[in-house]
Structure 1
Amino acid sequence: MNGPLSNPGGINGHPNMGVADEQTMAAVKAMSAVMESCPGKTAVSGVMGFALGGAFGLFMASMSYDTPLSTNPTAATIQSLPLRQQIKQGFKDLGTRSLSSAKNFGKVGAIFSGTECCIEGFRAKNDLANGVMAGCITGGVLAAPAGPQAALVGCAGFAAFSAAIDSYMRRPSDGD
Structure 2
Amino acid sequence: MNNPGFNPPGGGNPNMGVADEQTMAAVKAMSMVMESCPGKTALSGVMGFALGGAFGLFMASMQYDTPLSTNPTAANIQSLPLRQQLKQGFRDLGTRSFSSAKNFGKVGAIFSGTECCIEGFRAKNDLANGVMAGCITGGVLAAPAGPQAAALGCAGFAAFSLAIDSYMRRPSDSD
TM-score band, normalised by shorter chain:
0.7 to 0.9
Gaps of 5+ in 2: none
Q: CA deviation at 1:113?
A: 0.2
CA shift at 1:127, angstroms? 0.2
Partner of 2:53: 54
Scaled by the length of structure 2, the TM-score of the pair is 0.86
Structure 1 residues 121-130 or 78-87, which shifts more? 78-87
More off after superposition, 40-49 vs 17-26? 17-26
Count of aligned pairs: 175
Q: Identity of paired residues, percent?
A: 90
Structure 1 position 74, deviation (Å):
9.8
Whole-Å separation in 2 of the counterparts to 1:5 and 1:26: 22
Offset, 1:104: 0.2
Match of 2:128 in 1: 129
Instruction: Evaluate the alpha carbon distance shift between residue 26 and residue 69 of structure 1 in structure 2; reply closer, same or farther with a 3 A threshold.
Output: farther
Task: Report the alpha carbon displacement of residue 78 of structure 1 after superposing the two structures with TM.
Answer: 1.3
Query: Any runs of at least 4 consecutive aligned residues in structure 1 with deviations exceeding 6 A, and if so which?
Result: 1-10, 12-17, 67-72
Aligned partner of residue 73 in structure 2, secondary structure: coil
Deviation at 1:13, TM superposition (A): 18
Aligned pair in 2 of structure 1 residues 81, 9: CA closer, same or farther (>3 Å)? farther
- Counterpart CA distance in 2 for 1:3 and 1:37 is 39
Deviations 1:22-44 (A, max 9, x none): 11111110011001111110001
Check whether the contact 2:52–2:97 (CA below 8 A) recurs between aligned residues.
yes
**Residue pair 1:66, 1:78 contacting (<8 A) in 2 also:** no
**33-42 or 72-81: bigger deviation:** 72-81
Q: CA RMSD in A?
A: 4.6
User: Given that residues 63 and 74 in structure 2 are in contact (C-alpha distance below 8 angstroms), is that contact kept between their aligned partners in structure 1?
Assistant: no
Q: Deviations 1:109-141 (Å, cap 9, x if unpaired)?
A: 000000000000000000000000000000000
Cα offset, 1:158, TM superposition: 0.2
Q: 1:53–1:98: 8 Å Cα contact kept in structure 2? A: yes
Deviation at 1:18, TM superposition (A): 2.1
* Structure 1 residue matching 2:171: 3-state secondary structure: coil
Go from structure 1 to structure 2 and tell me whether the alpha carbon gap of 1:16 and 1:61 turns closer, same or farther (over 3 Å shift).
Answer: farther
Per the normalisation by structure 1, the TM-score is: 0.86
Listed as ranges, the gaps of 5+ residues in structure 1 are none
- Against the structure 1 CA distance between its residues 9 and 42, is the aligned structure 2 distance closer, same or farther, given a 3 Å change threshold? closer
Partner of 2:151: 152
Q: Secondary structure of 1:76's partner?
A: helix
Q: Are the counterparts in 1 of residues 61 and 93 from structure 2 also a CA contact under 8 Å?
A: yes
